[in-house]
């Protein structure tokens, strides 16, 4: 998991820099840790920011609670559970990103939001997207559970994949709620993201191979789409 931390803090810190081109010099810049601590204390009770603090912090960053960027922040700042940030991780992570002012934090949040809502994301955007998407599954898992309740999964699919998946998402959610009607496994969750990427190449699914490496639930979905399509055109 250290590699992943490095990946997050290393790769994604440049999101902000990429837009205002302060270049690599930022790494050498001195980060004001106490400024970060001050920001933390502004929202925290003791060593953790709780639900109320989180709501205020999110708003101060210029985000809505239902923004996808909130999940990106939760991932980057290693939030252990919904509505909670711990002091140590909060300070270390912002420090790693060489960000010590609320304004810069806002900028970073906006960059996340932009990356996650793009209808035509770059490959960097997609890499971030995939991490956030996979993080979302674990983040929402109830203790001791291995599958996500269908309603939760549906909510987050809506929240995350709207811009990327478009009409396919509606069809997918219909299928999941009306036909599949079961909790969602990690495999189904992760592979659906791959499927969404696949659909960008082959929106009509003409090349889809039902004997390929897709999980059966996606096979079933594609088959249903094709049979309803066929039924519609034959009418």
With respect to another protein, which residue has the nearer C-beta, 9 or 190?
190
Half-sphere exposure of 20 (CA within 13 A, CB side): 10
Taking CB under 8 A as the rule, does residue 212 contact another protein? yes
Taking CB under 8 A as the criterion, the residue among 50, 162, 163, 215 binding another protein is 215
With binding defined as CB under 8 A, does residue 96 bind another protein?
Answer: no
- Our CB check for another protein shows the closer of 56 and 182 to be 182
Q: Which of 37, 41, 155, 219 binds another protein (CB under 8 A)?
A: 219
SS3 21: coil
* End-to-end CA, the chain: 54
- Binding span for another protein by CB under 8 A among 44-52, 99-107, 136-144, 212-220: 212-220
When the beta carbons of 58 and 196 are compared against another protein, the nearer one is: 196
Tell me the HSE value of 131 on the side-chain side, using a 13 A CA sphere. Answer: 24
> Which H or E run includes 156?
helix 150-165
Choose which of 120, 211, 232, 235 interacts with another protein (CB under 8 A).
Answer: 211
Q: What share of the chain is helix, strand, coil (3-state, %, to 5)?
A: 70, 5, 25
Closest CA relative to residue 183, chosen from 137, 131, 220, 134: 137
- Burial-class residue 219 by CB neighbours within 10 Å (0-12, 13-18, 19+): middle
CB of 194 to another protein, least distance (A): 9
Stretch that binds another protein, among 4-12, 69-77, 129-137, 209-217 (CB under 8 A): 209-217
Kindly state whether residue 146 participates in binding another protein, applying the rule CB under 8 A: yes
Residues near another protein (CB under 8 A) are: 146, 185-187, 190-191, 210-217, 219
């Amino acid at each position: 998991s250290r590699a992943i931390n490095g990946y997050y803090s290393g790769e994604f810190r440049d999101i902000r820099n990429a837009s205002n081109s302060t270049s690599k010099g930022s790494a050498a810049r001195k980060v004001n840790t106490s400024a970060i601590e001050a920001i933390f204390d502004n929202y925290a009770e003791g060593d953790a920011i709780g639900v109320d603090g989180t709501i205020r912090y999110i708003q101060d960053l210029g985000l809505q609670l239902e923004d996808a960027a909130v999940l990106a922040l939760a991932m980057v700042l290693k939030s252990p559970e919904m509505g909670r940030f711990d002091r140590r991780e909060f300070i270390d992570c912002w420090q790693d990103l060489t960000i010590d002012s609320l304004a810069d934090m806002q900028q970073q949040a906006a960059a996340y939001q932009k990356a996650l809502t793009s209808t035509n994301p770059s490959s960097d955007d997609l890499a971030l997207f995939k991490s956030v998407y996979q993080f979302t599954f674990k983040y929402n898992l109830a203790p001791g559970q291995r599958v996500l309740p269908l309603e939760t999964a549906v909510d987050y699919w809506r929240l995350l994949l709207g811009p990327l998946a478009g009409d396919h998402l509606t069809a997918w959610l219909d299928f999941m709620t009306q036909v599949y009607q079961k909790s969602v496994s990690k495999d189904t969750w992760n592979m659906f993201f791959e499927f969404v990427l696949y659909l960008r190449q082959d929106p009509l699914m003409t090349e889809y191979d039902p004997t390929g490496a897709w999980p059966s639930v996606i096979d079933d979905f594609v088959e249903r789409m094709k049979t309803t399509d066929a039924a519609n055109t034959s009418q």
